[in-house]
Amino acid sequence: MRPGHNWILKFGNLAGSMTCVEKKFKLAPHKYEEYKGLRFRDGDCGLVVDVWLHRVDEDASGLTFYAHHG
């Protein structure tokens, strides 16, 4: 990873809604829930991501990206 490594993304919408929050987690202190392979704690939100861009390793300039679709 290079310094300043960032992902660029576009949030999606849940079907029939105007929100990108898929699930809000309300858990006891020091507890977590695994959801879709990720660990969430109290107050966290699972978000819908439509597309995200990631740098191509072969480009030393770091200016070439490829798209992943959610």
pLDDT given at position 68: 82
What's the predicted TM-score (pTM) here?
0.67
Angle at 66 between CA 53 and CA 62, to 5 degrees: 80
What is the distance between the terminal CA atoms of the chain, rounded to a whole angstrom?
Answer: 22
Domain map (residue ranges) of the chain: 8-69
Tokens standing for residue 65: 């990206």
pLDDT given at position 28: 96
pLDDT given at position 3: 59
Per-residue pLDDT of the chain (70 residues; tens, 9 = 90+): 555 666 788 999 888 788 999 999 999 999 999 999 999 999 999 999 999 888 888 888 878 888 888 7
Distance set, CA 15 to CA 3, 44, 48, 56 (Å): 37, 21, 11, 31
pLDDT given at position 5: 62
Tokens standing for residue 54: 């990631």
